[in-house]
Amino acid sequence: MPTSRRREQPQRNAAFAGLSLDEVRTYRRGLMDEESRVSYWRRLVQARRQLLESLANAGSEPNTVGRLEALSGALTETRPAAGRLAYLNVDVPEGTPPLPDLERLWAADPAPTNPRAAAALAKDLATAEEALTAYRQTVHQRLDETTGELVARYAEDPTSCFAALPDPPAAAVALQA
C-alpha cells in the first residue's frame, strides 16, 4: 500500500531577507553569468596547460610541433588580450577564494627552447585552474542557496513565479481581449 510522503515546506534563507523577489532573481542571473565566465576561463586555462604539456612531450616531430606551436599562438598574448579579458568581470564576494592573475598568465609566452619557463608556466596554470575551480564551487554553492530562496518564496506565493515570465507579445494580449 503506497504511503503518502509529506514534503517539507522550503525554508527561506535569512541572508536574503533584505532583498525583494526581483533582486533575488537578478542576483541569481548574475551568479549564472559569473559561473559561465569562470567556466570559460577555467577551460581556457586547462587548454593552455595541456598544450604546454603536449609541446613538451612532442619531441622533435616537425608536423606535431608545428601544429602545436600554431595552436599555442591562439592561446597566448599574440592576439589582443583586452577582448578575452573582458569576459572575466569578476566581483569577488567576501570569503571567496582569491583568483589568480589571469592577465599575467595569459601574456606569458615562454620560448619553445626554454623548457624551464614552460614548466613554470604549466605549474602556474595548474594553480590557476585550482583557484578557478574553488571559485566556481563557491559560485555553485551561492546559486544553490539563491535557488532555494526562490523555491521557498514561490512555495509561499505560487503566483509570484509568473512575474519571471516575459510579457506576452502585444498580438497575444489583443487576442485575449
**Mean pLDDT per 10-residue interval, the chain, length 177 residues:** 73 95 94 92 88 72 53 49 40 58 79 81 91 93 96 93 73 54
Residue of 82, 99, 124, 93 lying closest to 38 (CA atoms): 99
- pLDDT score, position 86: 37
Task: Output the pTM of the full model.
Answer: 0.69
Residue 45: exposure state from Cβ atoms within 10 A (0-12, 13-18, ≥19): buried
Give CA–CA dist 37/143, Å, rounded.
14
- Chain Cα centroid distance, residue 131: 12
pLDDT at 118: 84
Output the pLDDT for position 85: 38
Q: Where are the domains of the chain?
A: 20-176
Q: Is residue 38 a contact partner of residue 176, using CB atoms and an 8 Å limit?
A: no
User: Quick one: pLDDT at residue 50?
Assistant: 85
Residue 37 and residue 88 in contact, taking contact as beta carbons nearer than 8 Å: yes
Residue spans of beta strands (DSSP E) within the chain: none
Q: Which pLDDT value is given to residue 113?
A: 74
